[in-house]
Structure 1
Amino acid sequence: MSTDLEGLFTALNATIGKSAMADAEFGETFRQMMAALVRFDYVVVFAYRGKERPIDLYSTFDRDEHIVFVTLYQAGPYLLDPFYHTARGRREGVLRMRELAPDRFFSSEYYRTYYVQTGLAEEIGFFVNADDDITIVLSLMRREETGVFPPAEFMTLKKVEPLVATMVRHYWSGLASRFDAQLADGSRARRKPGQSETVPPAEAVWRDLNLTSRETSIVELVLQGHSSESIGLKLNISTGTVKVHRRNVYRKLGISSQTQLLSLYLKNLA
């Protein structure tokens, strides 16, 4: 598509003289800027910090879509999302989902159980690192009927990335206090009598299931969509050792499939 210069300048003009903007206001400005440059169907913006529940800053979904893309995602599937793991790794730039996904992601139980519900052909994210170990990811999504982003549009997004990053760091600064409040509220709701620590739910998923740290690392990589070969390379162990650990985990948990493993994982998150 051709660049809509009038639409782009109108969006940028909305920021002139404003030292601060509310989430919805800046999110809409970003949407208008992107709409002047490329074609997409949805926008969603999440802020990530460690393993904590991501904060949704802005989205364009209707109510039913919001349940799939935001509510269900925040309930636990985010922990298996390639965008989440890229954000945790503090990588920056404009990145395609398919370039970040593990080798078995598109045949993983996470993909079949959750991601296919989105009906997306492609997702591209602006990854912007902010202070306090926070990464903000602004996603542009295209449905299957729309198709993937053409190479020319992807290059356009890469060219505008420095401007987007500067604006994001300015208008979405100071998010640490919101994460702190969210974590404290969640911990109070889950805390057992006499328990005082503040722990993200992701830290406690396998805590009561008698898994070793190595077994925990392996099953999490399995759920993310890594093959045994990929896991072996990441953990510097042989493929055979990975398979032995996987069999031991399944025996400990009393399960026999990745479907059951994912179900148990999400159940313990809840």
Structure 2
Amino acid sequence: MRVDFTAFFRALADWTSGSEQSDRQTGETLLAMMHALVRFDDIVIFAYRDKARPIDLFSTFEAEDHNIFVTLYQAGPYLLDPFFHTTRAGRSGVFRMRELAPDRFFSSEYYRTYYSQTRLAEELGFFVPVADGVTVVMSLMRREKTGIFPAQEFVLLNDAEPFVAAFVRQAWSDLARRFAETGQGRGRRSEPVSEADKVWRKLNLTDREASIIELVLQGHSSESIGLKLDISTGTVKVHRRNVYRKLGISSQIQLLSIYLKNIQG
């Protein structure tokens, strides 16, 4: 695809000349600039802070897809999303989903039950830490009919990353206040930060069991969990069997069902 510099600079000029830059106006500007660089089908921009419910800043979805990509996602599945966990790790840059996903992600129940509904060929994200522990993630998505991002387009997006990061930081510099206004600020450390923490306590899981089960649901194998938690694969399997026995289940799909049922109230 040929870069459309005229469209890129026109979008930037329109934004800088505006008297007020709302989430919608900023999102529309980023949409136009990204479309001038590469081909994609949809864009969604979320702000993340700790384990708090992410703030939806902008998206291009129709109603049905908005329910899957935004409403349902915010209700709990975000806690299992590789993009969410990348923000928790404090990383910045441009990454493809397949670079970030755990080793069993594409065979996990989370993928089969939730992520497969997105019908994406590929998703990549710009990860931009802004201020006060907030990270903005701009996801560019290509549907199955469009195919994955060609290597040359991914290189171009990497080249554009410093500009995109500076633009995002300028546009969304006050997101910590917005998280605080929703009651999800950092001042409430004495309470569970996320609904997931409440679920594990409600299900009477120990901290170790909860850590392992979260990684199972994210799509990590027992070997991967062992490496992350510095315990043996055998110990992981013992904890997993104990959790299944405690919850009266025998499969990952039942585990995910219990998780989603409890986290969504």
Given candidates 214, 231, 242, the residue that maps to 2:236 is 242
Matched position secondary structure for 1:226: coil
Identity %: 67
Q: How far off is 1:57 after superposition?
A: 0.1
* Aligned residue in 2 for 1:79: 79
| Residues 132-147 of structure 1 mapped to structure 2, 5 A cutoff | 132-147=132-147
For 2:21 and 2:68, the matched residues in 1 are separated by 27
Query: What is the TM-score when the length of structure 1 is the normalising length?
Result: 0.93
CA deviation map 1:215-239 (0-9, x unaligned):
1100000000000000000011111
Given candidates 220, 227, 251, the residue that maps to 2:221 is 227
Equivalent residue pairs, number: 260
| Residues 1-270 of structure 1 mapped to structure 2, 5 A cutoff | 1-17=1-17, 21-183=21-183, 199-270=193-264
The letter for the 1-side match of 2:239 is H
Contact 2:38 2:153 in 1 (8 A): yes
For 2:196 and 2:206, the matched residues in 1 are separated by 16
Contact 2:15 2:25 in 1 (8 A): no
Contact 1:104 1:225 in 2 (8 A): yes
Query: What is the TM-score when the length of structure 2 is the normalising length?
Result: 0.95
CA deviation map 1:229-270 (0-9, x unaligned):
000000111111110110000001111110110011111212
Matched position secondary structure for 1:183: coil
Unaligned runs of 5+ in 1: 186-195
Contact 2:121 2:142 in 1 (8 A): yes
Relative to 1, partners in 2 of residues 1:198 and 1:110: Cα closer, same or farther, differing over 3 Å?
Answer: closer
The letter for the 1-side match of 2:162 is P
- The alignment yields a C-alpha RMSD, in angstroms, of 1.6
The letter for the 2-side match of 1:172 is W
